[in-house]
Amino acid sequence: MAEQRKIALTGDRPTGRLHLGHFVGSLKNRVKLQDEYKQYVMVADVQALTDNADKPEKVRNNILETTIDNIAAGVDPTKTTFFVQSMIPEIAELTIFFLNLVTVSRLTQNPTVRAEMRDKGFEFDRAAADKATPGELVSRASVPAGFLCYPVSQAADILFVKANVVPVGEDQKPMIEQTNEIVDKFNALYGEVFPRVTAVIPPKARLSGTDGGAKMGKSLGNCIYLSDSREQIEEKVMAMYTDPDHIHVEQPGKVEGNVVFDYLDVFDPNQTAVEDLKARYRAGGLGDMEIKRRLTGVIEEVVAPIREQRNYLAKNPDHVLGILKAGTEQVREVATKTLAEVKRAMKIDYF
């Protein structure tokens, strides 16, 4: 029975729990796409290791967490196929072939890689690399080759299932561009094998950090997690960046750049009320406490059902592992087929 549906693939690095940034950036779109597309969600453990080679237990422990976060947020394992990246060796094979189609110079110019290198303190530092002992490899200020090349590996993630769409946050746009460059190059050299891919990015995809930083990031410590308790949510909202010049209730306050209002824009189901609050805040007379209390309630409404489902799944780890195992077996068949086709196209199908 041939599958006629178009294909969606996306993934998460298992380096920590998923947060509200993931929820608005990608999870919500996954929930939508799974009804229309044949959707794959990959636990990107190989990619996680590109900057966590010295922390294998952290990556291992987050395999289940990442999957549980997805399912709890509504990505339904009866509609979406979950799998583990490292269990599909064909992805690694494809990565090796793709590496020949990408220049080092292009990789060093990838905006996402550059931004992440800045966040992680990675530099192109030859001296630091030479001094590093094996156990320290990734804690030094020199970028691992695997990390620099992960966009190529990500292209292989996307292309081995011949995905048409990739639901991701805005920060992943450069990855899709790089994937399409690989598609064009591969097809031009070896014949039409891969379709071009489209990123599915929500209109307001980037949720700022609770500190007012441009991005909510696991490594930046400015996240509200899908697993946070009501108390944790409250604490984080109360500490949120608002308008630093709005000290007394009666003073006029700034709405732009005010994280509480940014979040109300995204999550509050009653946008008329939000507009009203903005007007009152601008005019003066509305305190930070009131908008923060409202936001706590609004976020709790979003997170509470996810948290409940999370708790249930966390008590049934074997069930979740079973989902990953079944999905991985299914995906392996797709991978074998694509690689056979790739090798034929590349004239390395000897016997």
For the CB of residue 112, give the shortest distance to ligand TRP in the complex, in Å.
8
Task: Classify the phi-psi angles of 221: left when phi > 0, otherwise alpha if psi is within -120 to 50, otherwise beta.
Answer: left
Inter-axis angle of helices 150-159 and 89-99, nearest 10: 120
Residue 155 or 323: the one with the smaller Cβ distance to ligand TRP is: 155
Strand 38-43 relative to strand 80-84, pairing: parallel
How far lies 237's CA from each of 18, 204, 214, 229, 292, in Å?
17, 20, 17, 12, 6
In this structure, what are the phi and psi dihedrals at residue 81, rounded to the nearest 5 degrees? -95, 115
For the CB of residue 160, give the shortest distance to ligand TRP in the complex, in Å.
10
Residue 205 or 240: the one with the smaller Cβ distance to ligand TRP is: 205
- Whether 320 contacts 300, CB under 8 Å: no
Residue 89 or 284: the one with the smaller Cβ distance to ligand TRP is: 89
DSSP-derived letter for residue 26 is: I
- Of 235, 218, 286, 221, the residue nearest 258 (C-alpha): 286
CA 340, 343, 347, 351 torsion: positive or negative?
Answer: negative
For the CB of residue 320, give the shortest distance to ligand TRP in the complex, in Å.
19
- Which residues are 199's β-sheet partners? 166
SS3 83: strand
For the CB of residue 11, give the shortest distance to ligand TRP in the complex, in Å.
3
For the CB of residue 21, give the shortest distance to ligand TRP in the complex, in Å.
10
For the CB of residue 57, give the shortest distance to ligand TRP in the complex, in Å.
20
- Whether 38 contacts 6, CB under 8 Å: yes
Residue 160 or 261: the one with the smaller Cβ distance to ligand TRP is: 160
Residue 291 or 342: the one with the smaller Cβ distance to ligand TRP is: 342
Rg (CA), the chain: 22
For the CB of residue 332, give the shortest distance to ligand TRP in the complex, in Å.
17
CA 67, 68, 69, 75 torsion: positive or negative?
Answer: positive
Residue 44 or 63: the one with the smaller Cβ distance to ligand TRP is: 44
Kind plus residue range of the DSSP H or E element containing 82: strand 80-84
- Whether 37 contacts 71, CB under 8 Å: no
Longest dimension (CA), the chain: 80
Residue nearest ligand TRP by beta-carbon distance: 11
Residue 47 or 296: the one with the smaller Cβ distance to ligand TRP is: 47
Which residues contact residue 221 at a Cβ distance below 8 angstroms, ignoring those fewer than 6 apart? none
Residue 42 or 286: the one with the smaller Cβ distance to ligand TRP is: 42
Query: Could you list the residues that contact ligand TRP (CB under 6 A)?
Result: 9-13, 42, 44, 47, 154, 157-158, 166, 168, 172
Residue 29 or 227: the one with the smaller Cβ distance to ligand TRP is: 29
- Which residues are 19's β-sheet partners? 225
For the CB of residue 198, give the shortest distance to ligand TRP in the complex, in Å.
12
For the CB of residue 42, give the shortest distance to ligand TRP in the complex, in Å.
6
